[in-house]
Each structure stands twice: as C-alpha cells, then as structure tokens.
Amino acid sequence: MEILKKWFKAGYDGIFEGTSKNMRIALYVLIVLSILFGIFAIQILFWGLGYTDMDNNFAWGAWIIGDLGLVALGGGAFTTGYLLYIFRVDKLRPIINSTVLIGFMCYLFTFVFLLFDLGQPLRAWFGFAYPNWGQGVYPVSMLTEVFFCLSLYFCILVVELIPTVLEHKVLIKNKYVAMVAHYMHLLMWTMAAGGTFLSFFHQGSLGGGMWGVLYAKTVWYAPHFFFMAVVAAMAGGTSFMTLVPYIAGKIMKKEVVPMETYQILTRISGFIFIFYFIFRSYDIYAAVYKYAPMGGREFIDMWGGYYGIWMLVLEMLLFAGPLIFLNIKKYREQEKFMVIGASCGVGAIVVSKLSVLLHGFSAPNFPWKGFTAYGPTFQEWIITFGVFALMILIYMAFVKWFPLFPHLEHNEHDAHH
C-alpha cells in the first residue's frame, strides 16, 4: 500500500505541479469526464444501443456530430503538412508537431465514435476482411472507401507523430534514437504526400459523398458535396490548427508558436474560405433551383422543425469572420481580429456539420410527413464530452512532457544559457 501511495503521490505531483487553482479545477473536471466516459462506454458496448435515443429517423447517435466535426477540422493536419513538406513553407515548422498531434487525435477518436455506432464493435475488423467491393477494383459502398482511407491515413499520422515522441529529452540522448528521429524528419515529405492523397478521398466521402449520393433524400442530395467537403476541411482545419496552440500559449502565458506562423496559416485559411464560400453559395443555389424541385419540394419547406432555417443563417453569418478578418491584412495583423476570424471559421464548419446531421435526419423523406427531433441521452452526452476531455488531456500531456513546440523549447534553452 505504501508503494502505491508513493506512486500515486508522484503521479499527482507530476501532473499538478506548478498549476494554478483554476487549472487544477479544469483538470479535475476533465479527469471526471474521462472516467465517466469509460463507465458509459462499457455500458453501451456491453449492453447495447438501447441506452441511446437512436431510431429509424436518427440512425446515428449524438456523437456522430463530433465525429464529422473532428474529421473536418482534422483536415488541417494534411493541409499544413502538405504546405510544409511539399511546398516548403518552412515558417510553418514551429506548428507542425502540434498539427500532427491534433490530426492524430481527431482521427483516433473518430474511430472511437464509430465504434459505438457499429453496434457490434467486435466485428469492426469486418471492414478489412469483407470489404464491399463491386466489379473491378472499386468499392460499391462509400463506407468501404471511408474505412480504408481513414485507417491508412491514421497509420500515416502515427508515423508522423513518432519523431515527436522520440525527441523526448530522455530518449533523444540515445544516439540511435536520435538518428532514427533525424532520418524520419528527412523522409516525412513522403508521409505528407501519401496523407494528402488519402485524406482528400475520405474527407470528401465521409464529409459529403456519403450524403450527397442519396438521391432519395432530397435534403442531402448534391453530387458536388464530395468536393465541397474537401474544401471545407482545408478551410476550417487550418483555422483550427491555429486556434489550439494559440489557446495553449495563452494558458501557459508563453509564446509557444511565433506570431508570424499564425499569420501565415490564418492567411492561407482565409484564402481557402473564399473558395469555400463560393462553393457553398453555389450549393444553396443548386438546392433551391435544381435539386429540391427534382424531389418535388420547395427548398424553404425542407427547413422546418427544430433545426430550422436559423442554422443556415447562422452558418452564413459566421462566414463573415474568416472572409473579412483573415483576408484583409490590417485586421489579420491584429491579434484579436485574427482569433475572431479563425474562431468564426471553425464555427462555420461545425455549424455546417450540425446542419447536415441534425437537419438532414429530422427532415422527412416525404412532404406529407412531419419533422422529427433528437434528444440525446445522458450517456450520449458523456461519451461525446468525455472524448473531448480525453483529447485535451492528451494534448496537455504532450505539451508538458514532449517537445510539441520547438520554438518554445528553443527559447527556454537560450534563456538557460
């Protein structure tokens, strides 16, 4: 018992050492949410999806909102990696470790969310063993393509994360470990290229293609949805990759990434948002004048119920942030406007995913049927927020024990000398 007490005290001191009272409270909340996540995960996985509010109208649980949101925002990982390693935008190097870690977590917990939606998670390997291939070498099922691309890109993110782990101050002292880390950095451009190829397809298919091909569901049908989802992930993902380390730096009261890096990434994000806004405007136009009439419906009539037209209006309003604050230089160079612009960009992507799922499932297939609503159970909320809590804790652990921010490590090293 004494040994266990010493280990617990050492772990407690290691985690909470040097933290403020508010930070300790936040950590307690995150840890409690993580523990509750574990409890309710066991309940749902072992005793079934009856603990959710899923039915024939809402075939996926509340966590799928986080699922699609994580995948879309995680798209900033492949975009930033491609810009750094292929286009040689070297000023993005201070943020790349953080970007890879965020991308890794987004995809890891996407698998976790999907695990609950499978209903029989022990059969998850069926996706590899019995893929739904058609004639020739292409998948009939969009989910087959999603499964393979998602899995392979996650493997690439694992490889990209290895150098950050190897550069731990203890491990890097070994010359062989240092050599492996060095050569992995040199070859990382191959991972960036492969990751971009895979991520392009699954961003489009999971984010838009799965919904856009459903011609019997007028509210979703849009053949161009695949490509729009890719542009959305690039636009919102780069803003998200900026916000996370920025918030971490404010909490730590340190410059973890130079402001110049933030400026470059937000400028790229704002530029991509121009294309995404044009694409989204065309999407609405096509729905109003082409796809809704094809289904014998009026566009405005498909936006009733609890998840009404206000979601579309909110999304359009949020577009103003990145379009104005990230593209106009005098605003982007002011820190507060840069943060507002990036936050609005992330918000626009999240609201668009909420709209696809909540509004998409609630809108009836036939005009004579009414709109429905979804009421997630307590277990679903805990699963969703528990995943976010785990992501924050993992990020904090990397900040504390691994060289996540080379710029910060370099500055502290210079200060000691």
pLDDT score for 342 = 97
Query: What is the average pLDDT across 378-396?
Result: 93
Q: What domains are defined for the chain?
A: 23-404 (1.20.1630.10)
Helical H segments across 119-224, by residue range: 126-129, 142-166, 175-186, 188-204, 210-212
Q: What is the pLDDT of residues 187-210, one digit of tens each?
A: 888 888 888 888 888 788 888 888
Distance CA 383, CA 376 (A): 11
In this structure, are residues 314 and 351 in contact, taking their beta carbons and an 8 Å threshold?
yes
Tokens at 18, concatenated: 């040097």
pLDDT score for 332 = 94
Higher-confidence position of 53 and 100: 100
pLDDT score for 339 = 96
Q: What is the pLDDT of residues 207-232, one digit of tens each?
A: 888 888 888 888 899 999 999 999 99
pLDDT score for 410 = 61
Query: Is the pLDDT score of 10 beyond 70?
Result: no
Hey, which residues does 139 pair with through a beta bridge?
133
Query: Is the pLDDT score of 13 beyond 60?
Result: no
Query: What is the average pLDDT across 32-54?
Result: 89
In this structure, are residues 70 and 110 in contact, taking their beta carbons and an 8 Å threshold?
yes
The chain-wide mean pLDDT, for the chain, equals 87
Query: Is the pLDDT score of 415 beyond 60?
Result: no
- Name the DSSP letter for residue 358: I
Distance CA 1, CA 228 (A): 58
Contacts of 15 (CB under 8 A, 6+ apart): 27
Tokens at 69, concatenated: 């949101």
pLDDT score for 365 = 83
In this structure, are residues 341 and 332 in contact, taking their beta carbons and an 8 Å threshold?
yes
In this structure, are residues 391 and 242 in contact, taking their beta carbons and an 8 Å threshold?
no
Distance CA 396, CA 361 (A): 36
Query: What is the average pLDDT across 4-15?
Result: 52
Q: What is the pLDDT of residues 236-285, one digit of tens each?
A: 999 999 999 999 999 988 889 999 999 999 999 999 999 999 999 999 99
Distance CA 177, CA 416 (A): 25
Tokens at 417, concatenated: 């000398």
User: pTM here?
Assistant: 0.90
Q: What is the pLDDT of residues 259-271, one digit of tens each?
A: 999 999 999 999 9
Query: What is the average pLDDT across 353-362?
Result: 89
| CB-count exposure of residue 205 (10 Å: 0-12, 13-18, 19+) | buried
